Structure 1
Amino acid sequence: MAIILVILLAVVLAWLAWQGWQRLENQQQRIDEISQQASNSASQEALSALESRLESAEAQRSQTLDDTVSELRDDFASYRSDVNSTLDNVLSQLSQEQETDEREWLHAEAAYLLRLANQRLQLERDVEGAAALLRTADERLADADNPALTPVRREIASELAALDAVPRVDRTGIYLALNAQQERIATLRLNQEVVDAEPVTSNMEEPPTGTFQRQLARFGEELKELVVIREHDEALEALITPEQESYLRQSLRLILEQSQLALLKEEQALFEASLDKALTLLDGYYDTSRSDTQSVIERLETLKQTEVTPELPDISGSQQALSEFIDNRYQSRNVNGGEA
């Protein structure tokens, strides 16, 4: 019985222990469930709060981004406006500098043309060439379109009028006229006969012999036979030989060529002196009673009156005026640049 009681007691104790363990396990399970439920509820609330914060942060970030983009757009628009304005100013300044450079080139070109015109007139006495250069310089100043250049252009106009008043010398026509007179002079007749010089012959076949007195007497007799004395009421003109005639015509030709050279070199005194000498030879040795001789003389006298070296005006006024204008412009620019 005791053993049975012990066994029963052990069984009862085991059943009670198992029941207690079951209850403990159930309680633990409920506790876990409650804890899990509590944990899930906290997590959900935390997740909701996190989502809310994330949504708020996203909205704030989007707003900030929109504000930043808007500010960037405004800054970019302002920057682009400033760049365009700066670019416009730079282009305007470049345009002004280009216009200034173009004017400077026109001023320099006009100054060169005026200097060349003075050299052409002074060194070559080329009136037409100097006038053409002055007109070209005036065109360059007109292209510059600067009222301050009016005094310079006024000087150029005055100088052009002075050049137009210079007598024009037809040097080619005068040169050819002198050539024609040379050809005509070659056909003119002299006012003296041209004789051939004949050798003097003597009857003395043998050299004189004997004493000095006898030889002298014999020489006197021979001389009487050679010399013939004739009496004339009028003066006789000296006869010239063919060699003398050739020398005369050659001299006259050289004198006219000298006048041509004086014409080309524009030496008035030499030109007139050469024609005077030619007229003297014509009057002295040619038959002036003939019409062809008179025609040549009249033509040479007319050519002698030609002014082959006309007085030239001074055209340096425009060059000096433009040089002063350029100097003043340069000094003014330096002063303005220093103040800036």
Structure 2
Amino acid sequence: MQAQRIQMDNSLSEMQRKLGSDQGQWRISEAEYLMRVANHRLTLEGDVATSITALEAADSRLRDTHDPAWNSVREEVAREIAALKIAPTVDMAGLSARIGGLIRQVDQLPLRDQGGIPPRPPQASESIESLTAEGFNLRKILDDLWEGFKSMMVVRHHDRPIAAMLPPEQRYFLYQNLQLKLEGAKVALLARDEGLYRDSLRAAAEWIEGNFEMEAGEVQALLAQLQGLGGEVLLPDLPDISGSLRILHARREALEKQGERQ
């Protein structure tokens, strides 16, 4: 929010410099710019808070003209601000944090008829080990990453016999694929792509049901959280705030024509 305000202020300062000393003219131009920002942020990003801030700033510019010719625009701006203040909002940061928490839980889920510790990634070939010190450093990094990864795991003991273990690389990618599906949901969330968001969460749930131990409490808990996230609305119905901009354009055009006749 702070960065967006700084960007708006910088743009307004540049506009004022170009328009020169005609304060009435640059205040109207500033108001128009701010109203465009409000429409852009709301329409493309659903950013209610920034839209309110921009419209309030636009109203301030119109007020400072001390010209009653713009009262009809200000009245429409006031109606739009009031509508935005009661509009539904989406806690994007909160939803993103919830998905991030699920991604961190993936490594702790037990596979179906498997132990609970994910397998070590496929071993590097002997040719890599025989390379220069640069190759050795890469192998050491992989080893260190695995040790840290393994330290977060919990061994699961099952009451029933454990089936034959999957190949290590296959077990590793069962976890990796689930994490990628959740990352996809997070990206879709930030892009406000509701269809892709729901599809990604659904794919993650189906992957869990097909590959992980469904009787485990942590698996059931994660599935419940996925279901809750899937019920979130990313694109709520938002008010139309383009009316004030249309009125401003119409009023300015009328004033310009009036000036030409005089």
The answer to whether TM tops 0.5 is yes
Note the C-alpha offset of 1:239.
Answer: 6.2
| Other-structure match for 1:60 | none
Match of 2:99 among 161, 178, 195: 178
- 1:262-304 Cα deviation digits (max 9, x unpaired): 0111100111111111111222222222222211111111111
Whole-Å Cα distance in 2 between the matches of residues 125 and 104 of structure 1?
30
* RMSD (Å), alpha carbons: 2.4
Q: Report sequence identity in percent.
A: 34
Whole-Å Cα distance in 1 between the matches of residues 85 and 164 of structure 2?
54
Whole-Å Cα distance in 1 between the matches of residues 205 and 33 of structure 2?
47
| Other-structure match for 1:135 | 56
Give yes or no for contact 1:256–1:274 (8 Å, CA) kept in 2: yes
Matches for 1:245-260 after TM superposition, within 5 Å: 245-260=171-186
Unaligned runs of 5+ in 1: 1-100, 197-235
- 1:294-319 Cα deviation digits (max 9, x unpaired): 11111111111112233343221101
Whole-Å Cα distance in 1 between the matches of residues 114 and 29 of structure 2?
71
> Is the counterpart of residue 105 in structure 1 residue 26 in structure 2?
yes
- 1:10-58 Cα deviation digits (max 9, x unpaired): xxxxxxxxxxxxxxxxxxxxxxxxxxxxxxxxxxxxxxxxxxxxxxxxx
| Other-structure match for 1:116 | 37
Unaligned runs of 5+ in 2: 1-21, 120-161
AA of the residue aligned to 1:193: Q
| Other-structure match for 1:321 | 247
More helix by proportion, 1 or 2? 1
Note the C-alpha offset of 1:124.
Answer: 4.0
Note the C-alpha offset of 1:134.
Answer: 0.6
Matches for 1:257-268 after TM superposition, within 5 Å: 257-268=183-194
Matches for 1:1-340 after TM superposition, within 5 Å: 101-193=22-114, 240-336=166-262
Whole-Å Cα distance in 2 between the matches of residues 170 and 116 of structure 1?
21
| Other-structure match for 2:130 | none
Count of aligned positions: 196
Is 178-187 or 250-259 further displaced after alignment?
A: 178-187
Note the C-alpha offset of 1:324.
Answer: 1.1
Structure 1 stretches of at least 4 aligned residues deviating more than 6 Å after TM superposition: 236-239
Whole-Å Cα distance in 2 between the matches of residues 107 and 172 of structure 1?
35
TM-score, with normalisation over the residues of structure 1? 0.53
Note the C-alpha offset of 1:109.
Answer: 2.3
Whole-Å Cα distance in 2 between the matches of residues 270 and 117 of structure 1?
26
TM-score, with normalisation over the residues of structure 2? 0.67
